[in-house]
Amino acid sequence: MCGHQYTGDGKGYGVIVNTTPSASNFNADVIVVGAGLAGLVATYEAVRSGLKVLVVDQENRNNLGGQAFWSLGGLFYVNSPEQRMMGVKDSEELAWRDWENTAQYDDAENDYWPRRWGREYVRFAAQEKRDYLKGLGLNVIPTVGWAERGSGDASGHGNSVPRFHLTWGTGPEVVRVFREPIEEFEKEGKVSFLFRHQVDELITEDDANGPRVVGVRGTVLANAPEERGVASNRDKAGEFELRAAAVAVTSGGIGGNLDLVRRTWPEDRWGPAPKDMVQGVPAHVDGRMIEISKKAGARLTNTDRMWHYPEGMQNWDSIWPTHGIRIIPGPSSMWFDAEGKRLPNTIIPGGDNLKGLAHVGRTGHGYSWFVLNKSIVDKEFIFSGSEQNPDLTIKKVKNLLSKVGPGTHPAIRNFMDHGEDWVIADTLGELVDGMNRLVGPDAPQIDVADLRRQIEDRDSQIDNKFSKDYQVNYIRTARGYLGDKIVRCQAPHKLLDESRGPLIAVRLRILTRKTLGGIETDLDGRCLQSDGSPLPGLYAAGEVAGFGGGGMHGKNALEGTFLGGCIHSGKRVGEHLKKYVDTVK
């Protein structure tokens, strides 16, 4: 292989690597494919157990930590001190009840391992996760958020209580607590990185017990100096082959590959895939390793299960192509479809994400509208993304106070001033004119009289402390939780009250995000073959494995469980690798 050399230990293990000083003589026990959060956690735990780890990634070092860096840093904790301080009564039993009711697992083989992973994750969230992360230096803010509030049915989807713990420092802090010790391991010669190495094949060899995975082959990509998240070239600069006792695939999902998202889109549940979607993840989240693992013998399951948001919008200051930002809404905005018809009252903003997605998808238009006013946007809107929340990301208390104080947050003001999906007006007639101009004459045109009637119907339910409107009643209920009353839920008022204006409409597009199915794994993260037996030498963690088992969330998901899913599955893989490596070396 041109420009490469081999180092081995006499047993067929070692690496064939580029002759770079950092890796030319690195004799790895394990190859980790993907330097995102799950890969960092697996690497951290594997090195702690005494293994040497080589991490390969198709992007440059600027992208260390992957999509987790861009996240808001939400973590699902159960019965935490923060919950108790806010007056929330939670338990592992209640969390598992919510999880099962949300997951709606099939009583079939495809959900055998996902159900077991789901149960283990809830145990982890209740008994281990907070102490584990706090021991690494990660803290959360004291106000606990109530994400995925539910479908209005105690036996249905949703969190019965607030469980969304926001990392003090957002996504970059989640990455930091693993990145820093790994960089120390790198200095000590226990970890090495090969960036701009794109894996194209998992190497398998047959022995008396059948096939086993012994390494990877792929393409050395041309240098790419771009900043984090910016799409990079795929120009070929060479080839490589790497070998080790085990390979752990931690390469993420498919959310940055819109063609693959559309091919796996469940039309029977969500209607046709929209032609115009925005991406909630960078372009390198391409899902390549899912199919590559399948070709090596790993079984895939639940690949039609995904997690996308109906409240996306085009970023006014994009980093990657079709860069989308999600609105994380409070419950007060009125939600209308493309034709101006109010969504069913039980589909409230922030309530049941996939139920809203399915409803919008089945309209055939692929977008919907929030209609609200400045009073609501100031109190209730938060945007996904660490870069959208610098007051939380930089960990300055005085900056955080600006988020809970009066006025419009700078991130929101930027979208009000520059966002292509935003319409702002003093009167409803002007607002509707702007909405219709935005979508153009070939799209459904909203009738101002019909929209006014629906808003006035809702406003008629405000005068009393009780009403027949589900959403108005829910707003009052939500404000019974202190966290919502302080930072997330505006007091009930009439939407057309001029003192609360101006009026605002936001066109909501489908925003791609997470893969809920993938490579099937057992509780040690070992990839399974078609007969259900482990494929020796191959592990998977994070989104590529549906966060464990090929779909631990089931058919739906509870917010705050995605970063935690990467941490939990990466930790389990990292802890088990030593046991396997010792049996083969």
pLDDT in tens, 154-192: 999 999 999 999 999 999 999 999 999 999 999 999 999
- What distance in Å separates the CA atoms of residue 535 and residue 520, rounded to the nearest whole number? 11
Single out the residue of 227, 185, 289, 194 nearest to residue 63, CA to CA. 227
C-alpha–C-alpha distance, residues 462 and 472, integer Å: 7
What is the spatial distance between Cα 550 and Cα 521, in angstroms, rounded to a whole number?
6
Query: Could you read off the pLDDT of 79-100 as tens digits, one per residue?
Result: 999 999 999 999 999 999 999 9
Q: Which stretches within 77-135 are classed as H helix? A: 81-85, 92-103, 112-127, 129-135
Q: What average pLDDT does this structure show over 423-433?
A: 98
pLDDT for the residue numbered 397: 75
Q: What are 299's two structure tokens?
A: 């079984």
Tell me the pairing of strands 534-540 and 246-249: parallel
Q: What is the dihedral of CA 290, 295, 296, 299, to 10 degrees?
A: 60
Closest-CA residue to 534 (of 210, 114, 267):
210
pLDDT band at 5 (very low <50, low <70, confident <90, very high): very low
Q: What's the confidence (pLDDT) of residue 405?
A: 67
Rounded to whole angstroms, how far apart are CA atoms 412 and 390? 12
Whether the CB-CB separation of 30 and 40 falls below 8 Å is answered with: no
**What angle do the packed helices 170-187 and 37-48 form, to 10 degrees?**
40
| One-letter amino acid of 205 | E
DSSP reduced 3-state for 459: helix
Mean pLDDT for the stretch of residues 544-572? 97
Q: CB count, 10 Å around CB of 88?
A: 19
Per-residue CA distances from 139 to 45, 73, 130, 466 (Å): 20, 11, 9, 39
Asked whether the CA dihedral 100, 107, 555, 355 is positive or negative, the reply is negative
Convert the pLDDT of each residue in 244-255 to its tens digit: 999 999 999 999
From the options 2.30.110.10, 3.50.50.60, 3.40.109.10, 3.60.21.10, give the CATH code of 30-252+287-305+516-584.
Answer: 3.50.50.60
d(CA 6, CA 40): 25
Per-domain boundaries in the chain: 30-252+287-305+516-584, 316-510
Q: What is the mean pLDDT of residues 8-15?
A: 35
Dihedral of the CA atoms 182, 188, 190, 191 (nearest 10)?
Answer: 50
pLDDT tens digits along 281-305 = 999 999 999 999 999 999 999 999 9
Residue 315 has pLDDT above 60, yes or no: yes
For the cut 50, the answer to whether the pLDDT of residue 273 exceeds it is yes
Q: Can you give the pLDDT at residue 116?
A: 98
Burial class from Cβ neighbours inside 10 Å (0-12, 13-18, 19+) for residue 41 reads buried
Two structure tokens written together for 485: 């009353």
Using only C-alpha atoms, what is the Rg of the chain?
24
The pLDDT value recorded for residue 17 is: 40
pLDDT score of 402: 62
CATH of 316-510, one of 3.90.700, 2.160.20, 3.60.40, 2.60.40: 3.90.700
| DSSP strand pairing (526-528 vs 422-425) | unpaired
Q: Three-state SS for 503?
A: strand
Q: Is 583 exposed, middle or buried (0-12, 13-18, 19+ CB in 10 A)?
A: exposed
Strand order in the sheet with 246-249: 191-195, 53-57, 30-33, 246-249, 534-540, 526-528
pLDDT digits (tens, 9 = 90+) for 330-378: 999 999 999 999 999 899 999 999 999 999 999 999 999 999 999 999 9
Mean pLDDT score, 326-330: 96
pLDDT at 1 over 90: no
Question: Counting Cβ atoms within 10 Å, is residue 100 exposed (0-12), middle (13-18) or buried (19+)?
Answer: middle
Q: Name beta bridge partners: 74.
A: 166
pLDDT confidence tier of residue 395, bands split at 50, 70 and 90: confident
